[in-house]
Amino acid sequence: MQTRAIAKNVGHPPRKVRRVTDAIKGRRVSEALAILKFLPNMPARDVYKVVASAAANAENNYSMDPDELWVVNALADEGMKLKRMRARPHGRFSRILRRSTHITVYISDDPNDVPRKARANTRRR
C-alpha cells in the first residue's frame, strides 16, 4: 500500500529540490533519511521533513512497519511565483521571480512498487 505526504509552497526553486529528490528515489526510508540528514543542500531539510511525515503517516494510519518502507517516488513540482522588481540603470527595472515548490513523496511497504529504473540506481558498483 502506498502513502504520501505533501509540502506546498516550500521556498526553494524546483530545479534545486529535484537534485535532492533524485538522490532518494528507490531507497529505503531509513537510508533516505540518513542521506538527507548529511546532504549540504538547503532543500534537503524540507525534503527530510516530508519523507519523515510520509513515514509517520504510513505507521500511524495504516500500521505499516517503519523499517520496511521504501521511497517509491519523490516529486518537486513548481509552486507559486513571487514577482519582484529590482532597480536598474537609467531609471529602468527588471523582474525577479522567486520560485517555490510543491514537494510530494510516495512511500510503500512493498519493494515491488519501486520502479525498476529507480532500483537500478541504488545498486552498488
- Per-residue pLDDT, 68: 92
C-alpha 23/C-alpha 102 separation (Å) is: 17
**Cβ contact 48:38 at 8 Å:** no
- Segment 59-91, tens digit of pLDDT: 999 999 989 999 999 999 999 999 999 999 999
Entry pTM: 0.88
Q: What's the whole-number mean pLDDT along residues 89-106? A: 96
Total H helices, total E strands in the chain:
4, 3
C-alpha 68/C-alpha 6 separation (Å) is: 21
**Structural domains in the chain, sorted by start:** 2-120 (3.90.470.10)
- Segment 7-60, tens digit of pLDDT: 999 999 999 999 999 999 999 999 999 999 999 999 999 999 999 999 999 999
**Which has more confidence, 115 or 24?**
24
Instruction: Read off the C-alpha cell for 78.
Output: 513548481
- Per-residue pLDDT, 118: 67
- Per-residue pLDDT, 125: 46
